[in-house]
């Protein structure tokens, strides 16, 4: 049996939602050689297209809360109803602009869609902040009147009346916070998740089902929500330009997706040649 490789999506496999053709070819080549390649993303399944899913052997989504292998759902953890309602009450009290992310849909409070659209379409140095990724998010949003009644696994906050670490402290210890992958949004954005969940939890669920030793696990990522996954894997591959705490755990650093860095990474790890 070959190795199993867990790849983050945004900023690792794709550049602002656009997947380089060279990355697709590299994944297909590695799978032909007997390696299992798994998408391991903060995105819920609702924000991964069927064509994207078809490139991989499985999915670890919602930052570890959702695990699917060869079409079988191995784990689907979501906020308990009481915690969900309490989180929404706190977020609404701080005028947070947020999305609630579940495997079937992404929810937003009715009336907030234009604000989300404006935040996703902001430009940095003359370039769109999110590109196709922002379009993917907007296309999947379902507006609701009662967000607290929704079933979801993660909350993405885009703006608030206070720094998100202060708001998250009101929801501790049940919930944790990682900085937004959209660094330009600052500290009033971030991702809230159940504190006992992270990508390594989903990785463990899948590798235990397959009977794969940690020595055969490779993880590739670029963000704060990849840290536990990278630390859990035997081989940690990090994208150049990642935050310093993420780079600090790297066994190998590769170029970003706009330079098709995964091709170099796969070759150096012996996955494609």
In the chain, where are the structural domains located? 4-76+198-268, 81-194
| Region of residue 95 (phi > 0: left; psi between -120 and 50: alpha; otherwise: beta) | left
Interaxial angle between packed helices 21-32 and 261-268, expressed in degrees from 0 to 180 and rounded to the nearest 10: 20
| Integer CA distances (angstroms), 195 to 106, 175, 229, in order | 20, 5, 15
Q: Compute how many other C-beta atoms are within 10 angstroms of the C-beta atom of residue 172.
A: 10
Q: Which of 100, 4, 105, 5 is nearest to 48 (CA)?
A: 105
Residue 129 clears pLDDT 70, i.e. is over it: no
The string of pLDDT tens digits covering residues 23-45 is 999 999 999 999 999 999 999 99
Fold equal for 4-76+198-268 and 81-194: no
Q: What phi and psi, each to the nearest 5 degrees, are found at residue 15?
A: -105, 105
**When comparing pLDDT for 136 and 209, which is higher?**
209
Spatial CA neighbour of 101 closest among 158, 141, 56, 146: 141
- Cα–Cα distance for residue pair 175/223, rounded to 1 Å: 19
Pick the CATH number of 4-76+198-268 from 3.40.50.300, 3.30.110.40, 3.20.20.120, 3.40.50.1000: 3.40.50.1000
CA distance 79 to 155: 10
The arithmetic mean of pLDDT across residues 147-154, rounded, is: 94
Q: Which CATH architecture has domain 81-194?
A: 2-Layer Sandwich (3.30)
pLDDT of residue 203: 98
| Average predicted confidence (pLDDT) for the chain | 93
In this predicted structure, what is the pLDDT of residue 213?
Answer: 94
Q: Is the pLDDT of residue 182 over 80?
A: no
Q: What is the three-class DSSP state of 12?
A: coil
Using the predicted structure, report yes or no on whether residue 123 has a pLDDT greater than 90.
Answer: no
Distance CA 266, CA 157 (A): 34
Q: From the DSSP assignment, how many helices (H) and strands (E) are in the chain?
A: 10, 16
What average pLDDT does this structure show over 84-91? 96
Give exposure, 60-78, as e/b (b: 16+ Cβ within 10 Å): bbbbbbbbbbeeeebbbbb
d(Cα 152, Cα 77) in Å, to the nearest integer?
8
pLDDT confidence band for 124 (50 / 70 / 90): very low
Residues 214 and 52: their CA atoms lie apart, in Å, by: 26
Q: Is the peptide bond before 173 cis (omega within 30 degrees of 0)?
A: yes
**53 alpha carbon, distance to own chain's centre:** 14
Token pair belonging to 44? 């819920």
């Amino acid at each position: 049996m070959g190795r199993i490789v867990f790849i983050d999506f945004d900023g690792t496999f794709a550049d602002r939602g656009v997947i380089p053709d060279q990355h697709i070819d590299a994944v297909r080549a590695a799978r032909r050689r007997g390696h299992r390649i798994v998408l391991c993303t903060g995105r819920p399944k609702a924000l991964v297209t069927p064509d994207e899913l078809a490139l991989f052997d499985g999915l670890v989504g919602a930052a570890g809360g959702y695990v699917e292998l060869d079409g079988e759902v191995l784990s689907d953890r979501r906020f308990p109803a009481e915690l969900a309602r309490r989180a929404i009450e706190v977020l609404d009290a701080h005028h947070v602009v947020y999305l609630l992310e579940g495997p079937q849909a992404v929810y937003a409070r009715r009336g907030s869609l234009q604000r989300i659209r404006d935040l996703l379409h902001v430009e940095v140095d003359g370039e769109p902040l999110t590109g196709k990724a922002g379009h993917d998010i907007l296309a999947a949003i379902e507006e609701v009147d009662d967000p607290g009644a929704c079933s979801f696994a993660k909350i993405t906050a885009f703006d608030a009346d206070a720094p998100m670490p202060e708001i998250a402290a009101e929801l501790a210890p049940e919930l944790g916070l990682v900085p937004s992958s959209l660094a330009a949004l600052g500290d009033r954005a971030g991702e809230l998740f159940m504190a006992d969940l992270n990508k390594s939890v989903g990785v463990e669920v899948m590798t235990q089902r397959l009977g794969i030793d940690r020595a055969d696990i490779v993880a590739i990522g670029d963000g704060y929500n990849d840290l536990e996954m990278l630390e859990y894997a035997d081989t940690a591959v990090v994208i150049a330009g990642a935050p310093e705490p993420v780079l600090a755990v790297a066994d190998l650093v590769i170029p970003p997706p706009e330079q098709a860095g995964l091709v170099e990474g796969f070759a150096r790890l012996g996955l494609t040649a």
